[in-house]
Structures are given as structure tokens and as C-alpha cells.
Amino acid sequence: MKKRLLALFCALAVGGAVTAKTVGATSPGGNLRMEIEVADKISYTVWSGADKVLDACTLSLTLADRTLGEAPRLRSVKRSSADEMLERRNPTKDAVVRNCYNAVQRIYDKCRRREPLSREEAYRLYDQAPLQELALVADEVRRAVVPDPEVVTWQIDRNVNITNVCISGCRFCNFHCKPHQTDRAFVTTLAEYREKIDRTLELGGDQLLLQGGLHPQLRIDFYERLFSDLKALYPTLRLHALGAPEVAHIARISGLTTLETLRRLMAAGLDSLPGAGAEILDPVVRRAISPAKPSVEKWLDVMHEAHCLGLPTSATMMYGHVETPHQRVDHLLRIRDLQARCPEGKYGFIAFIPWIFRSTDTELERQGVTTRFSPLEYLRIIAVSRLVLCNIRNIQASWLTVGKATAQAALHSGANDMGSIMIEENVVSSAGAHNRFDAEGIRKAIREAGFTPRLRDQLYGMREYAPQA
């Protein structure tokens, strides 16, 4: 700040006469602001936030023969920045440190141009960018890429579990059961689907999120029959179903390739593929929390095949367990790079949804890994997601795991969607996520945040909110 102000003053003190003119400078954090007025004298005013701390102070220098600063002339004003090394006044470890401010500013400029960041740039953004600045830039980029920056979208759907039987044994999940646990095991019946769907349609919903587990007996013919039966009964209902691990599992036990499995599921009525099962796309993390689940490479391969077939998908991240911050960034980079491989004219990833790990009664909790939720950290993740995922338009605020207030703040930090009211949700709720919204509640929350709520479908087309009851 001092160097910028000194350079500004020096520029003001030289050359060609002008009428009264005001120029200013702002500190990197935005808290300090100075305005310098050039008239018959040079004067300056300083604000700290909204408070004026110095008002119209005269800037001059009296010499033996004259006074500098009277009748000033302004020739030019030049603004510049450069990465530099700063010497510590009281060095403890490193005598010299790098001034990172200008480097971060250059990354912001790259984000504004929607250029892909390098791994090192993405790390620096996550590690060093002040949250307030980061959120402002992310909001700026959001406003540039969404169709209407004053609108926040939301959805009505129902999360129905096909089954709770799963052989994956993920250590973050307490919803699943083993095949031999017959007292707990279930497979949802068609009659139960009809009851749940009828109520969803009454409330204005248009989508069913169908997820289960890696059931050892449910092969491709089961899912083909289920999807075709539901579409026959409810032709307009959107089936947002399964996930890459489930597709890979169904293919394996059915003796099919994942590509053929996707083709057959689409033919039976699959409309879009959720981003479930991503967690953190890092092999080390995956071995630690879900060792029996298909690999990181398999998740990416299935999603790429879905993109090539024209099947819309979403991407997710479950964070806050055993991963490092840089592994979170690597996860985002893998998502971005996969989206870059999406064939032209295909949907690819429609949206990205990060949420916090909930630990209640999970195996990870018994191992000492518990939920460590920080609203500020979540806002950082939302903002960095917006800036790193330069090729994905929609970023969703996960109110279910972070609560209303944090989700509202996320709408000013890069997110443009509040997700679904989730008429029914069982998996994350069983691990301690107890936030709830109905249609009026989510619309009110969006308005309170300063935006206009608009109901959407899975492809982010706008719908009219018209419940039957």
C-alpha cells in the first residue's frame, strides 16, 4: 500500500497544468482507501472501511526558496504491480518471504478470462487467497457465466433408495447393510414407488433420484425392468439414477462392459447420471474410506462414457474426512479435465455439488474421524470450485449438510443453485444431516439472500411452480 501511494504522489507532483482532479488507491484487503485531489494544492483523504480517518489533509513540502505542492501539475498517472521479495523486520525462520499478493491477482485475472488454472495456481488460490477477495471474484465470474445473475435456481425431487444392501462397505456410510442382514435389508417395491412418486408429483416435483448400493444379486435386467415400468406409469418423470460405481458394479456382475450397460439403462429410461460415489478422487483417500468401491479411474471412465453417449451427469465432492486441502483441489482438476474431454454438443457435467462429510455412527467416526465443519472453509471450497471449474456453469450450495445460513452465503461466493427440497433423503440424514426445506422455505431463503428463486428441471430449464396440493 505504501509503495502504491508514494508512486501515485510522485506522479502527481510533475508536469502539465490541470483543473481539479481526484485519483485513488485501495489496499490489497480493501479495508484502506485513499483519495488524492489535485487542485490549487494537493490534499488527501483516507478511509478505514466506512470511517473517514483523515479528511482533506494538505500534502506539501516547504524548501528554502519555494513550497512544493502549491499549484501542482498532473502529467500522468501510472499503475503497476510486480511480484517481489520482502525482507522480514524480525526474521525468525526465513529472512525473506515472497509477496504473494500480486501473484494471486494475476490468477484472479486468469479466472475472469475463464482460462484453466495450472495445479500450482489452483493450490495458491486455495492456500493464499483472502476469503473475502476470493468470494468477490467467484461471484463476479458467476455473474458472467449464468444466464441471469439475479436468479438462483432450485428443484423439487425425491431421493428414493432402490435398496440398502451394499457390499462396498464404505466407512463413511451407516445406511447400508450386508446381504445376510435380512432383518434390515430391503428392495423397494413397485407399489412403494407409486406411492412415493404420486406424492412427489402432487408437490410439483418432476424427478426421482434413484440410488442404492452395490447389491450382489441385482443385475442389468432388474434395472431395465424397474426403469421401463416406472416410465410406463409416469412418462414425464425424470429418472436421475444410480452413479458411476453402481454402473460399474452392474456391468461386472452382468458380464457386460460399462458402455453397454449405460446404453441399455438409457434405452430403459435412464435420463441422467448423478455424480455419486466420487467422494475425493484420489487413490489414497479412496483406499482409506471406500476400499471395495470401483477405482478413481473407473469412476472417471464411466462418466466419460456417459458424456460420449449424450447422457447428462453431475459431479460431486464429499470432503472433510481424511483428505488434505490439496487433494480437494486435485479432485476439482480431475473433474475439470474430464469435462474438457466431453465431445462437442454433448451435455457433460451439468453441475458440481460439494458437501461436508457427516460422521454420526459411521466406521470413520469409530476410527476417530469426525465431522469438522467450518462455514468459512465451505465458502472457500464453493469459491475455488467456481474459479477452477471454468467449464462447468452450475455450482450448487448443499444446504442439507451446511445449513440455511451458510448456503445463503454460498450464493454470494460463486454458487447459483440451491439444489432440491429433497422430499425424501435417507443416506446423508442417517449420518447426522438434519436440515430440512419445503418449497416455500427454500424460496424464502433464496429471497432473503437477495435473489429471485426459479424452479428448474435437471437440465436447468426453468419450470413454473404448480403444486397440486
Type and span of the H or E element at 445: helix 439-448
- The pLDDT value recorded for residue 434 is 55
- The pLDDT value recorded for residue 6 is 39
Phi, psi of 304 (to 5 degrees): -65, -40
**Stronger pLDDT, 1 or 312, i.e. the higher one:** 312
What does the pLDDT look like over 184-233, one tens digit per residue? Answer: 899 999 999 999 999 999 999 999 999 888 999 999 999 999 999 999 99
User: CA-CA distances (angstroms) from residue 280 to 63, 113, 316, 418?
Assistant: 67, 27, 9, 22
- Give 29's pLDDT tier (boundaries 50, 70, 90): low
From-to residues of CATH 3.20.20.70 in the chain: 151-455
User: CA-CA distances (angstroms) from residue 94 to 89, 91, 97, 416?
Assistant: 11, 6, 7, 42
- The pLDDT value recorded for residue 145 is 97
- The pLDDT value recorded for residue 174 is 82
What does the pLDDT look like over 2-16, one tens digit per residue? Answer: 344 334 434 434 444
DSSP 22: E
- The pLDDT value recorded for residue 24 is 79
Grid cell listed for 407? 448456503
- 317 pLDDT exceeds 60? yes
- The pLDDT value recorded for residue 180 is 85
What does the pLDDT look like over 239-265, one tens digit per residue? Answer: 999 999 999 999 999 999 999 999 999
386 contact partners, CB below 8 Å, separation of at least 6: 138, 141, 142, 395, 413, 414, 415
DSSP string computed for 193-249: HHHHHHHHHHTT--EEEEE----SS--HHHHHHHHHHHHHH-TT-EEEE--HHHHHH
- The pLDDT value recorded for residue 123 is 97
- Give 437's pLDDT tier (boundaries 50, 70, 90): confident
pTM of the shown model: 0.78
Q: Mean of the per-residue pLDDT values for the chain?
A: 86
| CATH fold label, 151-455 | TIM Barrel (3.20.20)
Percent of the chain with pLDDT over 70: 84
**Stronger pLDDT, 100 or 288, i.e. the higher one:** 288
DSSP string computed for 304-348: HHHHHTT--EEEEEEESSS--HHHHHHHHHHHHHHHHTSPTTS--
Type and span of the H or E element at 407: helix 404-410
What does the pLDDT look like over 124-179, one tens digit per residue? Answer: 999 999 999 999 999 999 999 999 999 999 999 999 999 999 998 888 888 888 88
Percent of the chain with pLDDT over 90: 62
Residue type, 159: N
What does the pLDDT look like over 345-399, one tens digit per residue? Answer: 999 999 999 999 988 888 898 999 888 889 999 999 999 999 999 999 999 998 8
Distance (Å, rounded) from C-alpha 25 to C-alpha 43?
A: 14
